[in-house]
Structure 1
């Protein structure tokens, strides 16, 4: 990039840059307030990005990384097809094999921004639509056998050309989706919001001049690249690895899907190579753009927060994701879970590699249970008299945020890949739009990620199906993971507990296990139980402040047994009265117990035990008998069986 000194003063650069950021922010806010889609309006599952006329990211703001950091790849696919877009054009598409963006419910929109007769910018917008066709309302189908059965695959198409709607294209698309009036309304809200942003940008250019605005954008690109190169140059040259697995792909339920990455740092550039990941499977495949963005954003977690998140900052980062791998699938393989489940594992693998390279890469591992419910209930809304035929919405159960050095994770927050941006819709809204009643929803006891600084606690909930007889209601755990592969700790912290999903059928007393990536019909009176795991902790839990453990025991968030077994904190039995405020720590016994536990081999980090098994330093039997780590062979190497290990290790 150009190295000449910028001739524009710092104040002007700051004003123009922040104005463009705010205009972009307002694009998203207008859509949030105007959208019909539950997940856009309530969960903020969307993202606008401003790009230059070459399709390079100028600026993005506080929306989901999967919608923002991906922008350059689908934009390139669109411009390769159409060339420069004309005034009044809007291209839409959702085909993940052409746009290489995300799953089918996430529709991509691209609109040009002209000043007089000159193309200056593009607005890329991606949002989660209420329906995209396919077998089920909401377009989630964990057991789909190809991408066509997942939903309608829309190639990039000019749905609006020079300000005129292509009615034939509109008819073809919207005759193949449910709740089409609401989805079309959302398309128009997006188009209108960008139209308003165009006016604001033209006003900005009119005030400062086109050359000045362009120069400011170019300068911020240069600064983004310089800042990222400076950050990378502080990392020692070398190779670093990370790995993580999705529970399954929904087709072969007992086969984990492994994401593996090798990070190579050389000078002021870094390369992430996913060549050792598994070959493409079903449902959890990640289109190339999805893989890129979930590689990028952990890097921003590990670098200066003031670093511009633009094209310049991405230039020193290289990604290798061979075609035909789970991180770059080919048509017609499915990819419905890519934005949550696989995204989490890509993020974790990248974070593990970064954490081996630099202390700035903090442990932020988490999981979630986004259990989707879908169905057809032809009824009338008693309040409005309108027909309600379909419903589709997620039960968003989050494990909260992971801990970082010096700070505990935040309970109830959305997980790592959602970056604190996505919001859980209120119980009242959920009960309004889907046939379920919440019996309870609590923070889960003994489900936190242990550490010197604890990861967030998990959550637990019980929901009754209130569907009418004859109504079709389907439950899908297709955006859920963590039942068999829990969030990792950092800085020496062990793994967080695993989670579980259960169903209890009406009239029965026993609960049945409900695997992630599976589907099941729900009938009136059936109950779904979720026990979501917490997020990863940081540091040795035997170094955690005993007073913090005392408070958690008092509040019934950690049991007396877990306080002793995991944290080495002895609660004075005389203090366990009917009054929770009486809870007290036996400090002398705690000091003695901690000294003893720190030499106990069962407290050795499971990853270190796994590596010793792989290197032939210890046997599988010794790993189990001495260290309490159960190993099994999978995908050609020894891996940890976390469920069985939980039974043997202190908990």
Structure 2
């Protein structure tokens, strides 16, 4: 039996593992071709042992936390452990064999040391187009086979020999081969780096020492999460909400129900009572996405780096205390061949509902309702040359108010953490023009002692003809306020032609293959977060700041916050009338 690794060596190995994962992520996004990876960093990378445990992962998007072990377990059904050879490169994206969803393609390489399979180097990245029914994204399709290429544990390289047939198949079944093939090459380079760096670490410290260190690090992360769970009183905590529709059956809301069962130092998230699976792609792969949302929520709530002074490695240990239950046939655990590509708004809502359910017992760690959705737009068209162009854009939203501060405005909240795509990059490469990109100004933020964050407005104009597919939600079920805070606001989608702004069409959050003409504009207005705490407890100076910033107006300050403003000639226009404010608030309370 290997001896326990001493604390100093343990920290050095742990730091090295994390550094390798970070390097893998950096190589992938710096070498990639498509903006969704190159700019937004919609990717994940890490190292894994031969039992598919996460040893380290890149600090990229939380949506990829915990998903790659699902890919590895899915691949094992096609490639058992004894079938791996040095130099193998496997590609995988099947949503019913562990993938987060089909556009998130994983590249996996085995790590051998002294002829022994020790683990894996793997990454995943969102690809622009995999030949689905509509360019870039899909929603209203009948089954998983409509999602495009399903690559179930196939070898791109077999012992270092390139599988030209498979590379050609992929290249000829995407609308944008230059982007997809370039991104795949970047993924292979990232995985190769991970193999090389992991082997160097094994050579320096010895396989037995490194593997023992990984076990101790996983046990440590598990113990830290269990310690925090044990502080929560045992009980069943519930929250619910609903999704707008499935992208086809308009007006039919889809319930989301979350029950969090805390028992000792373990927790179960039970999604029983949520919507049955739907006939479109608005379902969620259980292994690769539903579980990941629950892992994320507890790591964010209980192991946040801001609230913990000790560093806690992101590894398999932080998944072990969390059990996830979703009945087969529900929206969070669909049965094949149901499509399951448009899955992100749903898992955002699961994370948000976990926060809501635990708010009564974690008031100092929760937020009010977040936007908890995803605006994912696929803009596409055909150039005069006959070649397709496809652009995937992730739009920001907002967080709810927090125990000691306002909800951040116009951010990638909860599980996203992708970066915005610079509009300069858009203008250089694509026949689109961004007409508007700013803080939403048609509504006021969810009022509270700490107000909700403001959403974003993004308006993209087509220069030529094209099409749009848009994946979003939360037009109807607005972000909730908490502890006396007021609700936020739902999202909105408008489509119009720039030549005639009088004819603005209101569109549902999800739609597929909308044909556009030159000058057509899609404007997305994201949800705004809910407020935390009683609005009349808000610092009057902060209320004044919100008025001066244009977030709220003086009547709203008076009616909702109990803050009386007086006009002044100081260059700002308003000041707080403290005596009148105290009198007004006394009457309101």
| Relative contact order, higher structure (CA 8 A, sep 6+) | 2
**What is the CA-CA distance between 1:325 and the residue it aligns to?**
0.4
1:346 and 2:350 correspond: yes
How far off its partner does 1:369 sit?
A: 5.6
Counterparts of 2:419 and 2:227, CA distance in 1? 34
Deviates more, 1:549-558 or 1:586-595: 586-595
- Written as runs of structure 1 = structure 2, the 5 A alignment for 1:466-485 is 466-467=463-464, 471=465, 473-478=466-471, 480-485=472-477
For the pair 1:589 / 2:580, whether they are aligned, the reply is yes
Matched, 1:89 2:80: no
Out of 205, 213, 229, which is 1:216 matched to?
A: 213
Q: In the alignment, is residue 570 of structure 1 matched against residue 564 of structure 2?
A: yes
**Secondary structure of 2:359's match?**
helix
Q: Does 1:423 align with 2:423?
A: no
Distance apart, 1:389 and its partner CA: 1.8
Query: Is 1:405 aligned to residue 396 of structure 2?
Result: no
Q: Which residue of 2 aligns with 1:414?
A: 412
Distance in 2 separating the partners of 1:314 and 1:193:
25
Instruction: Say if 1:49 and 1:68, in contact at 8 Å, map to a contact too.
Output: no
Q: Secondary structure at the match of 2:576?
A: coil
Q: Is the 8 A contact 2:122 2:191 kept in 1?
A: no
SS in 1 for 2:59: coil
Partner residue of 2:154 out of 151, 154, 157? 157
Aligned to 2:286: 288
Following superposition of structure 1 onto structure 2, how do residues 634-645 of structure 1 map, counting pairs within 5 Å? none
Q: Is the 8 A contact 1:489 1:536 kept in 2?
A: yes
Alpha-carbon displacement from aligned partner over 1:72-125 (angstroms, at most 9, x marks no partner): 2221111232111221112112121223x2222111222111122111121231
Aligned to 1:627: none
1:541-562 per-residue CA deviation (whole Å, 9 max, x = no partner) reads 2211110111121122222222
SS, match of residue 437 in structure 1: strand
State the alpha-carbon separation in 2 of the partners of residues 360 and 164 from structure 1.
55
Query: Counterparts of 1:550 and 1:504 in 2: how far apart (Å)?
Result: 35
Given the alignment, which residue of 4, 7, 18 partners 1:7?
Answer: 4
- What is the rounded CA distance, in whole Å, between the counterparts of 2:469 and 2:362 in structure 1? 39
After TM superposition, give the deviation of residue 388 of structure 1 in Å: 7.3
Question: What is the DSSP-based 3-state SS (H/G/I as helix, E as strand, rest coil) of the residue aligned with 2:558?
Answer: helix
Q: Does the Cα contact within 8 Å between 1:279 and 1:326 map onto a contact in 2? A: yes
Alignment-derived partner of residue 551 in structure 1:
545
- CA deviation after TM superposition for structure 1 residue 142, in Å: 2.0
Give the drift of 1:172. Answer: 2.8
Counterpart of 1:98? 97
Match of 1:356 in 2: 360
Q: Aligned residue for 2:225?
A: 228
Does the Cα contact within 8 Å between 1:406 and 1:453 map onto a contact in 2?
yes
How many residues matched? 575
User: What pairs up with 1:8-157 in 2 under 5 angstroms?
Assistant: 8-84=5-81, 85-99=84-98, 101-138=99-136, 140-157=137-154
Q: Secondary structure at the match of 2:383?
A: strand
CA distance in 2, matches of 1:497, 1:357: 26
The Cα RMSD (Å) is 2.1
**Residue of structure 2 equivalent to 1:303:** 302
Asked if the contact 1:437/1:463 (under 8 Å) is kept, the reply is: yes
Q: Which residue of 1 aligns with 2:480?
A: 488
Q: Match for residue 193 of structure 2?
A: 196
From 496, 502, 509, give the equivalent of 1:504. Answer: 496
1:280 deviation in Å?
0.2
- In the TM superposition, residue 129 of structure 1 has moved relative to its aligned partner by 0.9
Secondary structure (helix, strand or coil) at the match of 1:359 reads: coil
1:480-514: CA deviations, max 9, x gaps? 12211222334442221122211223446131111
Cα separation, 2, equivalents of 1:299 and 1:535: 20
* Alignment match of 1:319 (pick from 304, 324, 327): 324
SS of match in other structure, 2:119? strand
Q: Give 5+ residue unaligned stretches, structure 2.
A: 305-310
Q: 1:534 to 1:37 in 2, by over 3 A?
A: same
Q: CA deviation at 1:5?
A: 11
Local SS of the residue matching 2:375: strand
* 1:39-72 alpha-carbon deviations (Å, 9 max, x no partner): 0001000001211111011122311222232122
- Alignment check: 8 A CA contact 2:455 2:528 kept: yes
| 8 Å Cα contact 2:346-2:373 kept in structure 1 | no
Query: For 1:236, what is the secondary structure of its paired residue?
Result: coil
**Deviation at residue 319 of structure 1 after TM alignment:** 1.0
2: CA distance between counterparts of 1:98 and 1:491? 42
Q: Is the 8 A contact 2:91 2:155 kept in 1?
A: yes
Residue 368 of structure 1, CA deviation:
5.1
**What is the DSSP-based 3-state SS (H/G/I as helix, E as strand, rest coil) of the residue aligned with 2:76?**
helix
Residue in structure 1 matched with residue 308 of structure 2 by the alignment: none
Residues 1:444 and 2:443 are matched in the alignment: no
Tell me which moved more, 24-33 or 527-536: 527-536
Separation in structure 2 between the aligned mates of residue 433 and residue 485 of structure 1, nearest angstrom? 37
Q: 2:387 aligns to what?
A: 389
Secondary structure at 1:416 match in 2: coil
Distance between the aligned counterparts of 2:77 and 2:146, measured in 1?
27
Q: 1:251 deviation in Å?
A: 0.9
C-alpha deviations, 1:567-586, integer Å up to 9, x for none? 222221x33x6x65231112
Match of 2:334 among 329, 335, 342: 329
Q: Mark the CA change 1:298 to 1:489 in structure 2 (over 3 Å): closer, same or farther.
A: farther
**SS of equivalent residue, structure 2 residue 565:** coil
Report which stretch shifted further, 323-332 or 354-363.
354-363
Deviation, 1:355, is: 2.0
- TM-score when scaled to structure 1? 0.84
For 1:493, what is the secondary structure of its paired residue?
Answer: coil
C-alpha separation between the residues in 2 aligned to 1:350 and 1:536? 16
